[in-house]
Amino acid sequence: MEKYYGWGLPIDISTHGPEIDRLIYVIHIFMALLFIGWFSFLVLALFKFRARPGHRATYKLDHFKTPTYLEVGIALFEALLLVGFSFPLVHKVRNVFPDESQALQVRVVAEQFAWNVHYPGGDGIFGKTDIHKITPANSVGLDEKDPNAHDDIVTINQLHIPVNRPVITRLSSKDVIHSFGIPVMRIKQDVIPGQVIPVWFEAKKTGNFEIACAQLCGLGHYRMRGFFTVETEEEFTKWFVSQPPFVALPLPPVDQSIVPSPPQGEREG
């Protein structure tokens, strides 16, 4: 198996990730250069101006020009980091969502200490949910009276997505703040109770990875681990149709070749 994790950044399988990684590298090179230069000056000064017999301190030195240049240089470089890297990237990740008709849509409902993953099923429409209907067997509280809910699929800690297709994930929480982090996707988003927060990402490599909770959410925070599987379209479809729907269907059978398509309208619980 390919090595995903090591001492540096984990493997990156997302389409937007390389830009984040590049920014991290650029900043660290900048930090290293600045620190080495500045530290060399410090060591030189400490050696050159150590107290010793016959050496006296100089009361006031001529004004140094270097620090001013250095300050201005640092300020300009920080401006470049903001305008050249951070702003465009954040805009792309947070504001420019993929076309909903192309993307896989999925809800993730976090709770102490699991990730409930809710797919809209073959009809592409999320069923109604209601917090009063939550039971151990119905972890997101789907309403069995809503026909749209019948083909919905809910998994616990299993997020399967197809490779090379954008995914829009709507995050919500049942109880406390969690943080939905997938290290290999360079995605992390706090999940705030009372809000539904969309994030999108696209994987360009298949494999089995992890969802990690990044925000202290209680005693089980350390084991709030989800499994994140990126598959080819065929494998994904195969997995998808093998999942039991919410209600075993008395309704007309759904064409099983349909992989979830865009929801026409979705409802949040």
Return the residues of window 144-183 that contact other proteins according to CB under 8 A.
174-177, 179, 181, 183
Complete edge-to-edge strand list for the sheet that includes strand 158-162: 158-162, 225-231, 207-213, 178-182, 187-191
Q: How far is the CB of 85 from other proteins (least distance, A)?
A: 6
- Cβ nearer to other proteins, comparing 19 with 235: 19
- Cβ nearer to other proteins, comparing 57 with 248: 57
- Cβ nearer to other proteins, comparing 86 with 229: 86
CA separation (Å) from 237 to 12, 166, 202? 24, 15, 17
Q: How far is the CB of 236 from other proteins (least distance, A)?
A: 22
Bond before 180 cis per omega within 30 degrees: no
Q: Which two tokens stand for residue 173?
A: 């929480």
Among the listed residues 200, 259, 191, 264, the one whose alpha carbon sits nearest the alpha carbon of residue 231: 259
On whether the CB atoms of residues 261 and 105 are closer than 8 A, the answer is no
- Cβ nearer to other proteins, comparing 106 with 122: 106
Q: How far is the CB of 230 from other proteins (least distance, A)?
A: 15
Distance CA 93, CA 19 (A): 11
Q: If binding is defined by CB under 8 A, does position 75 make contact with other proteins? A: yes
Q: If binding is defined by CB under 8 A, does position 60 make contact with other proteins? A: yes
Q: If binding is defined by CB under 8 A, does position 73 make contact with other proteins? A: no
CA separation (Å) from 96 to 21, 91, 127, 156? 20, 7, 26, 29
Q: How far is the CB of 214 from other proteins (least distance, A)?
A: 4
Neighbours of 31 (CB within 10 A): 10
Neighbours of 125 (CB within 10 A): 23
Return the residues of window 186-225 that contact other proteins according to CB under 8 A.
186-190, 192-195, 197, 210, 212-223, 225
Q: If binding is defined by CB under 8 A, does position 249 make contact with other proteins? A: no
Q: How far is the CB of 146 from other proteins (least distance, A)?
A: 18
- Cβ nearer to other proteins, comparing 35 with 256: 35
CA atoms within 13 A on the CB side of 214: 14
Distance CA 13, CA 163 (A): 10
In sequence order, the 6+-apart residues with CB closer than 8 A to the CB of 60 are: none
Q: If binding is defined by CB under 8 A, does position 253 make contact with other proteins? A: no
Q: If binding is defined by CB under 8 A, does position 137 make contact with other proteins? A: no
Among the listed residues 209, 191, 220, 245, the one whose alpha carbon sits nearest the alpha carbon of residue 3: 209
Return the residues of window 79-108 that contact other proteins according to CB under 8 A.
79, 81-82, 85-87, 89-91, 93-95
Q: Which region, judged by CB under 8 A, interacts with other proteins, from 5-13, 97-105, 147-155, 255-263?
A: 5-13
Q: If binding is defined by CB under 8 A, does position 29 make contact with other proteins? A: no
